Amino acid sequence: MTSVTELPASGAEPDGAQRVRVLSYNIRSLRDDRDALVRVIKACEPDLICVQESPRYWKPEKQAAWLAHRTGTVILSGGGRVAAGPLLLGRLRVDVLATRDRLLPKTRGLHARGFATALVRIGGSVPFSVTSCHLSLDAEERQRQFALLPGQFDPGEPGLIAGDFNEHPDGPGWRKLAADFQDAHPAAPWGGTFTSVPDNPHQRIDAVFATRDLEVLACGVPHGLPGLDPADLLAATDHLPVLAVVRVPAASS
């Protein structure tokens, strides 16, 4: 585990590039300790939050609004029937240029799943896309969903894919995605590696991926982050969060 004191802060750089903190977090439909969850998110100080398992059956819009309000963010995309669970939240400094939520083809008898995607810009950065996803437990369906993820990007567009992939890094879908995108944790290891389960973390099924035109500065599970109570990580939900810092280049003048 790499020292958490090395985590870069978010913010603008002199050349107009932006350091952006991105948090990916499966919140298990807010069924656990909501106050602990809010404290974890606020301690991570993310600019963007890629949520999985946002409540979708009982007043999903109201519950997404509750989470945004409590964490000092706004809803950027997702949180409804189309995205089917994934949700994107962000700070007020995040400008949404377009949304591309997508309901995925469904296998009979399995859960409906989707992608929450927004094209955003922060300060003077280039526009970049962000996708939150939660892939299937069924291996065949999951591979089809992995194959659809690059289609959330326009050609040549920088961006991030974050989520619960329900697959290990040696799985076929993960390996193919990592061949085209940077798997952020091994690219810039920081914090912890394993994301499931909180009281006995032994597997990495949650991750952040970045296009190769973004610089990954740090990525991992935020164990020991200042202001983050380890008890809250255990109480908040059944996954550990993944926190990444990426450098988004400035838009050309």
Number of separate helices (H) and strands (E) present in the chain: 6, 14
Tokens of 76: 């950027």
Distant-in-sequence, close-in-space partners of 67: CB < 8 Å, separation ≥ 6: 27, 30, 38, 51, 54, 87, 89
Q: Where are the domains of the chain?
A: 16-248
Predicted local distance difference test score (pLDDT) of residue 253: 58
Q: What is the pLDDT of residues 66-107, one digit of tens each?
A: 999 999 999 999 987 788 899 999 999 999 999 999 999 989
Question: What are residue 133's DSSP bridge partners?
Answer: 115, 163
- For the chain, which ranges sit under pLDDT 50? 2-4
pTM confidence score: 0.96
CATH label, 16-248, candidates 3.60.10.10, 3.30.70.1250, 2.40.128.20, 3.40.50.970: 3.60.10.10
Predicted local distance difference test score (pLDDT) of residue 75: 97
Predicted local distance difference test score (pLDDT) of residue 246: 98
Spell out the alpha helix ranges (H) of 72-160: 139-148
Distant-in-sequence, close-in-space partners of 244: CB < 8 Å, separation ≥ 6: 21, 22, 23, 24, 160, 162, 184, 185, 208, 210, 216, 218, 219
Length of the chain: 253
